[in-house]
Chains A and B, each alone.
Chain A
């Protein structure tokens, strides 16, 4: 029999990374319309979080509230330790970035000029070198010195991604980043994102309609339906629980039959 003192104690489990985004009871009403019912969630460092939902489900509203573009009706938002409903949000905003189809870059400025402007806004050190790095990593050679307005929809998405990565954000908010890209470009954009995330241990908050993309990239998924949580969990688990063959099938099931919601509306508490 072994002396208890000879037994090597098992290594303590690695503590989970601390959350870098915490939402508590976040909701939004526009007049009589409830765009988002109270939602609580948190995202940890290095996590890729997928936000799914049909048009008007509340995805853009949620991202807008987190980033301070929309004032929440209720709730708290803590991003990188800063209360985003207070004036301290500028400190957090310097460490994040985002891309959205609702926001564009000035069309008459070249992409290089746009990156110069945003680089100075974000206080990017050695800006010229950073733009050079992005030119290499993302493949901006062909359109870096062309006006943003003259770029194709796909090139604009890639340019928006370059702007979003400019300040090496700790958390990246992406609203439909591959919506206007052909399959090859979309794969390239995903590769860029995954490489960036692996290199910088950054978190990604990804709102998308592309179920395959979310299934492939995200470790945690939230499915919104008419402003409420329809399902939440890791993609494989969600698919198995629903008896579906893919996220897309689950999405369609919920869109056509909201009674399949995982838990009663307005009473969902997540994590």
Chain B
């Protein structure tokens, strides 16, 4: 194991210890995806029982909700792990360890996957058992959707955590709220074409909108829109680079302002 991998594993171990020893944290991780999917699943069942155009469209609801949860869990999984360091006033100890600046974001990305898996498995089982929707039936595109939404979630988390790092825990609410700014323009439940003309370019500049377009192509048209995945991947390359640059900028700014030793509100 290289030294960098060992340090990344150490950060993951720190967060794994935290989750492992606390059943409320398991419940917290799985609770919202489960409840969210249950509610939208019942709505989908109701709409599909209607003899109208709704029935066809309703078939995408459970898939869309699940993928939105993937994006949400990626962003929150990263952000909560980062906030845990600030809440416990441990960030200073980490920053004077031999850990390199890039190793912590990588560790938090991997940790967000662990959190996502713990949180989403009960929801995936529910979707399959109660609503007859198997995500594995989506095949290879599902992996592409998962990766793209994870990377976009991390990019947003990097920016939000950077702002909290620079401004202190008083700006913590940003972490919880920022993703919802992207919900209307990610076109989770409706196609991009249904947005006003002026808003469509904004949606198409987001990887998430391409992923949800790709999901609808599979579920409604039985077609794999590879271009959607590639566009999302290219945009993600850009946003992840910007997110990492922003995080480093805010970290430098926090060092200039002496914020790493004053991590309270």
* Genuine A/B complex: yes
Residues of A within 8 A of B (CB): 28, 30, 35, 60-61, 64, 67-71, 90-91, 93-94, 96-98, 100, 102-109, 113, 116-118, 120-123, 163
Instruction: Answer whether residue B209 sits at the interface, using C-beta atoms and an 8 A cutoff.
Output: no
> A267 to chain B: closest CB distance in Å?
25
How many Å lie between the Cα of A68 and that of B99 in the bound state? 12
Query: Top 4 nearest A-B pairs by Cβ distance?
Result: A120-B10, A103-B92, A94-B98, A117-B14
How many Å lie between the Cα of A90 and that of B104 in the bound state? 14
How many Å lie between the Cα of A163 and that of B258 in the bound state? 23
If the complex has contacts A108-B18, A120-B9, are A103 and B90 also in contact, measured as CB distance less than 8 A? yes
How many Å lie between the Cα of A121 and that of B96 in the bound state? 10
Q: Can you identify 20 A-B contacts, CB atoms within 8 angstroms?
A: A35-B258, A68-B95, A70-B260, A90-B99, A93-B96, A93-B98, A98-B96, A103-B89, A103-B90, A104-B90, A109-B18, A113-B17, A116-B13, A117-B11, A117-B13, A118-B10, A120-B9, A120-B13, A121-B98, A123-B3
Interface string of B4-21 (1 = CB under 8 A from A): 001101110110011001
Instruction: Answer whether residue B220 sits at the interface, using C-beta atoms and an 8 A cutoff.
Output: no
Residue of A nearest to B94 (CB): A121
Task: Give the interface size bracket for B toward A.
Answer: 35 or more
Instruction: Answer whether residue B181 sits at the interface, using C-beta atoms and an 8 A cutoff.
Output: no
> B129 to chain A: closest CB distance in Å?
33
Residue in A71, A96, A163 whose beta carbon sits within 8 Å of that of B93 in the complex: A163
Which chain B residues lie closer than 8 Å to A100 at the CB level? Answer: 92, 261
Which chain A residues lie closer than 8 Å to B100 at the CB level? Answer: 90
| A interface: dominant SS | mixed
> B211 to chain A: closest CB distance in Å?
35
Which chain B residues lie closer than 8 Å to A103 at the CB level? Answer: 89-93, 261
> A24 to chain B: closest CB distance in Å?
19
> A96 to chain B: closest CB distance in Å?
8
How many Å lie between the Cα of A117 and that of B11 in the bound state? 7
The answer to whether B88 and A106 touch across the interface, beta carbons within 8 angstroms, is yes
